[in-house]
């Protein structure tokens, strides 16, 4: 297999569908025949409205969902062939609500996976401090705090640190900055952009925010009504004439007109 950064497929969707049975016993397709590839070191942003199927696609990667049809492959192996625990420990996972354990200190939250993996104490301790510094939190000050003593932005930073703890090669982020106020969101987004450049991870981010998609994505996958419309570079996306992309571009124009909060630069 080639190890050139742009041609090494890390995540592959091959005609993947996922459906659920609703309360009336009818099946609904949340994802319909999606095919795409994420290469090593890439950041793919799945952009779409609420309920478009972005989160579903994300959860198919770490096997929180299993495809009804098609095949999801991670590092060349179908997620069915992976042991689900090994697969998930191989993939960092950040969600909007952070899901920090309220009864664990910040340090213990970050140390969770290294602990389960049986790392020696001193190595864990070193790693926790390193990660806290990495996400811009003073280790001295935040080490022993509990999640309820943190602001939303600080919690999200801890969530990112926790996902990175065991140094997984893949990172999945579901609306990671969605719950933050616009100022904090902008700040963290920019910091994360710098951070991800240095990390060299393969990242899939779910968002409904066109700014975020353009800022963070090396490619943008547009998801609409359970279908993947296509994947585009940010420049391609801006030129894309498909009606499903129009609302996002219009949103962007509106933001630009309103006073240049456009952050794609």
For the CB of residue 221, give the shortest distance to another protein in the complex, in Å. Answer: 20
DSSP 24: T
Q: If binding means CB under 8 A, how many residues of this protein chain bind another protein?
A: 33
Is residue 163 near another protein by the rule CB under 8 A?
A: yes
Among residues 30, 47, 46, the alpha carbon closest in space to that of 38 is found at 46
Does residue number 169 form part of the binding site for another protein (CB under 8 A)?
no
Which residue lies nearer to another protein by CB, 98 or 211?
Answer: 98
Stretches 41-49, 59-67, 129-137, 222-230: which one binds another protein (CB under 8 A)? 59-67
CB 163, min distance to another protein, A: 7
Regarding 88 and contact with another protein (CB under 8 A), the answer is yes
CA dihedral 144, 148, 149, 155 (to 10 degrees): 80
Place of tokens 């041609």: 7
- Give me the least distance between CB of 243 and another protein, in Å please: 33
Task: Name the residue among 112, 113, 160 with its Cα closest to residue 132.
Answer: 160
Minimum CB distance to another protein smaller for 113 or for 252? 113
Q: Starting at the earlier edge strand, list the strands of the sheet with 202-207.
A: 91-95, 170-174, 202-207, 43-47, 219-224, 227-232
C-beta of residue 104 within 8 angstroms of C-beta of residue 148: no
102 binds another protein (CB under 8 A): yes
What is the distance between the alpha carbons of residues 165 and 192, in angstroms, rounded to a whole number? 16
Question: Which residues form the interface with another protein (CB under 8 A)?
Answer: 59, 62, 64, 84-90, 92-93, 95-105, 112-113, 116, 146-148, 159, 162-163, 172
């Amino acid at each position: 297999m080639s190890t050139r950064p742009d041609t090494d497929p890390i995540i592959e969707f091959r005609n993947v569908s996922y459906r659920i049975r609703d309360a009336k016993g009818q099946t609904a397709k949340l994802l319909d025949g999606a095919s795409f590839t994420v290469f090593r070191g890439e950041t793919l942003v799945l952009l779409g409205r609420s309920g478009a199927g972005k989160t579903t696609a994300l959860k198919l990667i770490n096997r929180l969902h299993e495809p009804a049809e098609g095949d999801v492959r991670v590092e060349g192996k179908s997620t069915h062939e992976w042991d689900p625990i090994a697969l998930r420990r191989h993939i960092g996972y950040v969600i909007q609500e952070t899901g920090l354990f309220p009864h664990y200190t910040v340090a213990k939250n970050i140390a969770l996976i290294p602990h389960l993996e049986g790392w020696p104490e001193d190595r864990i301790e070193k790693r926790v401090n390193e990660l806290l510094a990495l996400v811009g939190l003073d280790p001295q000050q935040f080490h022993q705090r509990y999640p309820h003593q943190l602001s939303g932005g600080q919690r999200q930073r801890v969530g990112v640190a926790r996902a990175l703890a065991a140094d997984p090669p893949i990172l999945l982020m579901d609306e990671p900055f969605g719950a933050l106020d616009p100022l904090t969101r902008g700040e963290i987004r920019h910091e994360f952009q710098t951070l991800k450049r240095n990390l060299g991870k393969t990242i899939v981010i779910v968002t409904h925010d066109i700014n975020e998609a353009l800022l963070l994505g090396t490619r943008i996958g547009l998801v609409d009504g359970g279908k993947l419309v296509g994947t585009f570079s940010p420049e391609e996306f801006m030129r894309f004439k498909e009606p499903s992309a129009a609302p996002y571009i219009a949103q962007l124009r509106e933001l630009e007109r309103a006073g240049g909060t456009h952050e794609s630069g």
